[in-house]
Each structure stands twice: as C-alpha cells, then as structure tokens.
C-alpha cells in the first residue's frame, strides 16, 4: 500500500524533470532577403541541373542577405530583426544553398522536385558558418503570376558557434519565396535566374547531453530515496 502512495510522488518528480529538459529546447529562426536563385540546364558548371541561391562560376546569382536571427541568445548572439534596406551592404551575413539535381521529368519553369544532397549554409559576419546541412528533400513550387517558393528539409544539420558544434538531428525547414517578377532567361546558356524576396529557416536545438545526464541522475536519486523510505517503513 505504501508503494502505491509513493508512486504519484515519483511520477510527479519525473514529470518535473522531463519538463525542465523540454524547456531547454530552443527554437531558432534565420530570416533572409534579396538573393538570386539560379538554375542552369546545360552547363559544365558544378551547379548543372541544380538550383542555387548564391553566385555560380559563370558569375550569375547572389546569396541571400541574413536579415534576422532569433533564438541564439544562449550563445550570446542577441535576437535581431533588421530591415534589408537599412542594413545594406553590411547586414548580419549571408544565406546560400545548392540543391541536389532535379528529379527526372520535372521542369524548373513549371515546378520541380530535387534529389537529396546539395548544401545549405548560414554565414554570420565574424563567426563563420553558424548553421549548415544537406537537403533530405526539396521542392520548387509555382504560385502563379511569376512567383515561386522553395521549400527544403534538412536532417542532421550542424550549428557551429565559437568553435563548438552541435548536431541538429531533427528537420530544419527552409522556405524562401521569389518576388513574382518571373524568371530571367540568359541567352545561349539555358540558364534562368529568379530574385528571392525573403525567407525563413526554422529548427529546434535539443537539450545538451549534460541536461539528459542530470535528468537521469535525478530519477536515480528519486528511486534510491523511495527504496530507503520503504525499507524504513518495513523495519518499523
């Protein structure tokens, strides 16, 4: 009977421990503006049949401008939300990406899916790459009226801050939308560019391994305390 009375106490403490661990999770968001997507269908360039946000070797394209950071206060990087028109040309940094190759049967001018691969990176001025990863999947979706949106999923991304690296095992979502001005074709190159009008990258940073160790230690301590109380009751 005494065991049944103590069980709610153990569960309550365990619940608090799990809540504390969950609260350590941080949602991180990067925002960007003003980049150029480039797709090259017939080139010997390394970006052949891939969609790139950033400059490619033939001089076309430009990376997106990092305009805002949310959720990195724990790493002494304050939340910032800057307007592109007021921080150019020295904004927070850049966002760039290159997808895997386009899947067979798709056309960049009507909408496309891309094979896994490529690279996505956020470069914060003065700190180097603070988030990078490879696409598990990506899509290029026509919204009509000359507007497209890019949506990509990144698994096992890496956040790097001040030399420390943290693996992000859960998916990061990248979403960017063009201005609606339509693609610009480049003669004799089968290359198209689209101007990015802004986008966001969202992911969650899970609790550090140390937090999980503390959680386990707390549960062990609760178990030992429970056994001692039960032993004392039996002896009396």
Q: Which of 78-92, 105-119, 132-146, 167-181 has the lowest mean pLDDT?
A: 78-92
Query: What span, in angstroms and rounded, lies between the C-alpha atoms of 67 and 91?
Result: 6
Give long-range contacts, CB 8 A cutoff, 24+ apart: 17-22: 17/215, 17/218, 17/219, 18/215, 20/211, 20/215, 21/207, 21/211, 21/212, 21/215, 22/207
Tell me what pLDDT residue 4 has. Answer: 30
Both structure tokens of 161: 């801050």
Tell me what pLDDT residue 113 has. Answer: 97
Both structure tokens of 101: 């190759």
pLDDT in tens, 62-115: 999 898 889 988 888 888 877 766 676 568 899 999 999 999 999 999 999 999
pLDDT at 229 over 90: no
pLDDT in tens, 187-213: 767 889 999 988 888 887 754 443 333
pLDDT at 8 over 90: no
pLDDT in tens, 12-65: 332 233 233 334 567 899 999 889 999 987 666 666 799 999 988 878 889 998
Full-model pTM: 0.74
pLDDT at 141 over 70: yes
Q: Residue 78 in 3-state DSSP?
A: coil
Q: What mean pLDDT is reported for the chain? A: 76
């Amino acid at each position: 009977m005494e065991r049944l009375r103590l069980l709610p106490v153990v569960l309550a403490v365990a619940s608090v421990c799990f809540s504390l661990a969950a609260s350590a999770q941080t949602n991180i968001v990067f925002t960007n503006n003003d980049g150029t997507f480039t797709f090259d269908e017939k080139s010997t360039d390394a970006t052949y049949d891939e969609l790139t946000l950033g400059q490619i070797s033939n001089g076309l394209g430009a990376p997106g401008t990092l305009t805002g950071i949310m959720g990195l206060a724990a790493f002494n990087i304050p939340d910032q939300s800057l307007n592109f028109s007021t921080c150019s040309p020295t904004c927070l940094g850049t966002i760039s990406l290159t997808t895997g190759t386009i899947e067979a049967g798709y056309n960049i001018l009507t909408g496309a899916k891309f094979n896994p691969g490529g690279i996505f990176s956020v470069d914060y001025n003065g700190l180097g790459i603070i988030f990078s990863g490879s696409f598990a999947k990506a899509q290029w979706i026509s919204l009509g009226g000359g507007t497209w949106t890019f949506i990509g999923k990144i698994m096992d991304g890496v956040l790097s801050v001040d030399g420390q690296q943290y693996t992000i095992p859960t998916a990061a979502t990248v979403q960017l939308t063009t201005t609606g001005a339509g693609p610009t074709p480049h003669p004799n190159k089968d290359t198209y560019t689209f101007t990015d009008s802004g986008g966001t990258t969202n992911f969650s940073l899970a609790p550090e391994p140390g937090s999980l160790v503390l959680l386990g230690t707390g549960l062990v301590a609760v178990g030992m305390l429970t056994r001692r109380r039960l032993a004392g009751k039996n002896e009396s």
